[in-house]
Structure 1
């Protein structure tokens, strides 16, 4: 009995230290912030970059002459655009799916163009439409062969150059976009947006 008490006493400081260490590891604070606020912790590509670059590219694209010409050729109807692939050529992970959604949102928000579903989205919708032909009431079925055709596809890529020395780093991003006429393969607009970030990781002495 005395031996057991001695063992417990001997290990008590270790247990106390473990509890303190565990508490220190869990000592973090979480705060909810505005999703549209500008935040830049690591200097890497983030949600703010995605949103701002998408808006800038769409603004450039819609200010170009092709949009007005396309609407005039269609009797005033807005041209239809598919947002295609944006390829990540950088060494870091960039969620391009999020970026293409930001581009689609900016295009739709402009009210200048019609945005057509992507190839994968169209397959899902077609499966649902086919299912309706068999199971839905006749007056509620979606019609066949009535899809909106697109006249243009918007595609592009993201590239980055990094320069670092010691605790200082500069990251340069270049986002290129091209709008292609689906019928003729002619490039009707080419745009570009650039971001340059300076990151200083020097330690602050007390």
Structure 2
């Protein structure tokens, strides 16, 4: 019986090797970062980029900007505040915030200041300079520029699914608020609706 057992073991091992060799192979292809790719239907880099571009174009075309330039004679100073994720999925909010910052800053129409976390890091560096940098090179306190407006918002989503089909609806709301008066200078809204279909039967 022992030879039969050994033969059986060898056959099992050979079958395992054959199945492993015939299994699916992974292929990685580099694609353009601006190419639209929707694999799962969830929020992705394309949504982040397109929403930020569209909403920044909208906020920069509204009357508040012209009114500020006329009354103050300078570009407004803006900071991106908290953008909350109230959707049903994980969203890389930092990526979305940075997309907005980049579009606003590169427009050349506003002055941008660092976020709360970034300011704390810079202040720590400035504090170290008081003790260790030369008198000619250390940077002084109380020279920061205060923001005129803060841009904040929220991302919501609604999902509806049945029998292998799903619809995901996203609503992105952003608001530009005057820090001194608490008045809202602009409210932007973007909606995205995705249908994810799946064949009920596959052969």
Q: In which range does the TM-score fall when normalised by the shorter chain?
A: over 0.9
Structure 1: 5+ residue stretches without partners: none
TM-score (norm 2): 0.92
Q: Using a 3 Å threshold, how does the CA distance of structure 1 residues 170 and 140 change in structure 2: closer, same or farther?
A: same
TM-score (norm 1): 0.91
Match of 1:80 among 65, 77, 84: 77
Establish whether residue 145 from structure 1 lines up as the match of residue 142 from structure 2. yes
Where do residues 1-80 of structure 1 align in structure 2 (5 Å cutoff)? 7-23=5-21, 27-75=25-73, 77-80=74-77
TM-align CA RMSD: 1.9
Counterpart position of 1:91:
88
Q: Using a 3 Å threshold, how does the CA distance of structure 1 residues 167 and 149 change in structure 2: closer, same or farther?
A: same
Establish whether residue 202 from structure 1 lines up as the match of residue 199 from structure 2. yes
Distance 2:188 2:4 in 1: 76
Post-superposition offset of 1:98: 1.0
Query: 1:170 aligns to what SS in structure 2?
Result: strand
Post-superposition offset of 1:22: 3.9
Distance 1:133 1:202 in 2: 66
Post-superposition offset of 1:17: 2.9
Structure 2: 5+ residue stretches without partners: none
Query: 1:171 aligns to what SS in structure 2?
Result: strand
Post-superposition offset of 1:106: 0.8
Aligned residues: 203
Counterpart position of 1:109:
106
Post-superposition offset of 1:93: 0.7
Q: Using a 3 Å threshold, how does the CA distance of structure 1 residues 26 and 168 change in structure 2: closer, same or farther?
A: closer
Distance 2:19 2:139 in 1: 61
1:122-149, Cα deviation, whole Å (9 max, x unpaired): 0000000111111112222222211121
Q: Using a 3 Å threshold, how does the CA distance of structure 1 residues 23 and 136 change in structure 2: closer, same or farther?
A: farther
